[in-house]
Amino acid sequence: MSRPRTYQTEAIIIKKTKLGEADSILTLYTPHLGKIQGFAKSLRKPRSKLAGHLELLTHSQVSLARGRNLDTITGSQTINSFLPLKSDLWLTSCALYAAELVYQFTADGEENYRLFRLLLEIMAGLCQEGDRELALRYFELHLLDRVGYRPQLQQCVSCRALLEPVTNSFCSHAGGVLCPSCRHGQPLSYPLSVNALKVLRFLQDNDYGTASRLKLTPELSQEVEAVLRDYLKYLLEREVKSVAWLDMLKGQIGPAASG
């Protein structure tokens, strides 16, 4: 027993599963332990001391005690509750989508400090005024970068030639852009406009402060969204569940109405 019995970590709560009468199992995303699961006893009772500090999409300092199967959460203190995020249906949904992507793209116990920072950054970003759709695109591109699937946007992924400012193709299978002459052997590629490629590059190369100042037309925004969504789906080999919900909300009210 060389490891201490209890430990502390910062964490963002990205998933919550009910267990038994009033208990929950939480999935925490932490800076140095990666994705971990924690058992929280009696979390769903009104007098639970921990419940408010362990709600989804909360950044907290968490204490855990090692257990045989699951570590038990023994204490927690909110660092940032991201209140604006939780008071708006559209923002909550965007942040849940980001949390789901992190959940899907990570394995238990693998440290990824930059991904942790990115998730915090996007949650803070969503609390600010601005184009939240763009914020999600920024998040998607940088998440891909941090989990090892950074799309190649500078050279053709087949012939390595620098891309010309013409309509190229994006190929999820190849993980990047194909030049017009290499496109023909690839059935799973589709056209990518010059402007969309510029947007993708700009988002990929800049930090959030700079990237969030970009202004997109609805058409361009849709094209970029479609490209990234297809690539994410291809990598995960399944639908991201919250996408259907985001689409439904957008169809009903449009993100601008509540943003």
Partner 1 sequence: MDGLRPISAAVHRLVQEFSRLPGIGPKSAQRLVYHLLRAPEEQSRLLAEALLSLKEETSLCSVCFNVTDTDPCLICQSSERDRSQICVVEQPQDILALEHTGTFKGLYHVLHGAISPTEGVGTDDVRIKEFIGRLQDGSVSEVILATNPNLEGEQTAMYINRLVSPLGIRVTRLARGLPFGTELEYADDVTLTRALEGRQEF
Strand 6-19 with 23-30, pairing? antiparallel
Of 10, 88, 121, 230, the residue at the interface with partner 1 (CB under 8 A) is 88
Q: How far is CA 197 from CA 106, 116, 138, 210, in A?
A: 27, 27, 14, 17
| Closest among 105, 111, 101, 78 to 12, alpha carbons compared | 78
Q: Can you give the length of the chain in residues?
A: 259
Residue 254 within binding range of partner 1, rule CB under 8 A? no
- Of 14-22, 115-123, 129-137, 154-162: span binding partner 1 (CB under 8 A): 14-22
- Of 144-152, 163-171, 227-235, 248-256: span binding partner 1 (CB under 8 A): 248-256
- Smallest distance from partner 1 to CB 205, Å: 30
Contact 16, 22 (CB under 8 A): no
- Of 81-89, 134-142, 152-160, 209-217: span binding partner 1 (CB under 8 A): 81-89
**Identity (one letter) of the amino acid at 111?**
E
Residues 41-60 that bind partner 1 (CB under 8 A): 46-47, 49, 51-53, 55-58
8 vs 167, beta carbon nearer partner 1? 8
Burial class (CB in 10 A: 0-12, 13-18, 19+), 218: exposed
Q: 160's torsion region: left (phi>0), alpha (psi -120 to 50) or beta?
A: left
- Total residues in contact with partner 1, by rule CB under 8 A: 35
List residues near partner 1 by CB under 8 A.
15-16, 20-21, 46-47, 49, 51-53, 55-58, 78, 81, 83, 86, 88-89, 92-93, 96-97, 99-100, 103, 241-242, 244-246, 248, 252-253
